[in-house]
Structure 1
Amino acid sequence: MSGGTTGKPDGKPHYAGHRERLRARFLTAPDVLPDYELLELILFRSIPRRDVKPLAKDLIARFGGLSEVLSAAPERLLEVSGVSDSIVTELRILREAGLRMARAAVIEKEVISSWQELLDYCSASMAHNPIEQFRILFLDRKNVLIADEVQQKGTVDHTPVYPREVVKRALELNASALILVHNHPSGDPTPSGADIEMTRRIAETAKPLGIELHDHLVVGKNRHASFRSLGLI
Structure 2
Amino acid sequence: MFTWQAQACGMTQRRAFHETRSLFEGDEAPVQPLPAGKLPSYIADHRKRLRARFLEGGAAAMPDYELLELVLFRSIPRRDVKPLAHALLAQFGDFNRVLSAPPERLAEVRGVGEAVITDLKIVEAAAHRMARARVLQRHVISSWDAILDYCHTTMAHRETEQFRVLFLDRKNVLIADEEQATGTVDHVPVYPREVAKRALELNASALILVHNHPSGDPSPSQADIDMTRQIQAAGDALGLTLHDHLIIGKSSELSFRAQGYL
User: How far apart, in 1, do the equivalents of 2:185 and 2:86 lie?
Assistant: 28
Give me the TM-score of the superposition, normalised by structure 1. Answer: 0.94
Report the secondary structure of 1:160's partner residue: strand
Give me the TM-score of the superposition, normalised by structure 2. Answer: 0.84
The answer (yes or no) to whether the contact 2:163–2:209 under 8 Å persists in 1 is yes
Where does residue 167 of structure 1 map in the other structure? 196
Give 1:28's match in structure 2, choosing from 36, 42, 56.
56
Give 2:44's aligned amino acid: A
Could you report, residue by residue, the CA deviation over 1:30-51 in whole angstroms, capped at 9, with x for unpaired residues? 1211110010010000111111
| Residue 57 of structure 1: how far off its partner (Å) | 1.1
Report the secondary structure of 1:189's partner residue: coil
Q: How does 1:3-14 map to 2 (within 5 A)?
A: 5=34, 12-14=40-42
The answer (yes or no) to whether the contact 1:189–1:218 under 8 Å persists in 2 is yes
- Percent sequence identity is 63
User: How far apart, in 2, do the equivalents of 1:79 and 1:160 lie?
Assistant: 29
Where does residue 211 of structure 2 map in the other structure? 182
Where does residue 24 of structure 2 map in the other structure? none
The answer (yes or no) to whether the contact 1:178–1:213 under 8 Å persists in 2 is yes
User: How far apart, in 1, do the equivalents of 2:109 and 2:39 lie?
Assistant: 31
Where does residue 102 of structure 2 map in the other structure? 73
| Residue 4 of structure 1: how far off its partner (Å) | 5.5
Report the secondary structure of 2:178's partner residue: strand
| Residue 12 of structure 1: how far off its partner (Å) | 3.5
Where does residue 139 of structure 1 map in the other structure? 168
The answer (yes or no) to whether the contact 2:88–2:98 under 8 Å persists in 1 is yes
Where does residue 117 of structure 2 map in the other structure? 88
**Given the superposition, is the C-alpha separation of residues 4 and 230 from structure 1 closer, same or farther in structure 2, using an over 3 Å criterion?**
closer
Give 1:43's aligned amino acid: L
The answer (yes or no) to whether the contact 1:5–1:14 under 8 Å persists in 2 is no
Runs (4+) of structure 1 exceeding 3 A deviation are 3-6, 10-13
Report the secondary structure of 2:189's partner residue: coil
Where does residue 5 of structure 2 map in the other structure? none
Whose helix proportion is higher, 1 or 2? 1
Give the CA RMSD over aligned residues: 1.6
The answer (yes or no) to whether the contact 2:39–2:79 under 8 Å persists in 1 is no
1:155 equivalent in alignment to 2:172: no
Give 2:155's aligned amino acid: M
Where does residue 132 of structure 2 map in the other structure? 103
User: How far apart, in 2, do the equivalents of 1:4 and 1:231 lie?
Assistant: 58
The answer (yes or no) to whether the contact 2:39–2:78 under 8 Å persists in 1 is no
The answer (yes or no) to whether the contact 2:156–2:248 under 8 Å persists in 1 is yes
Where does residue 228 of structure 1 map in the other structure? 257
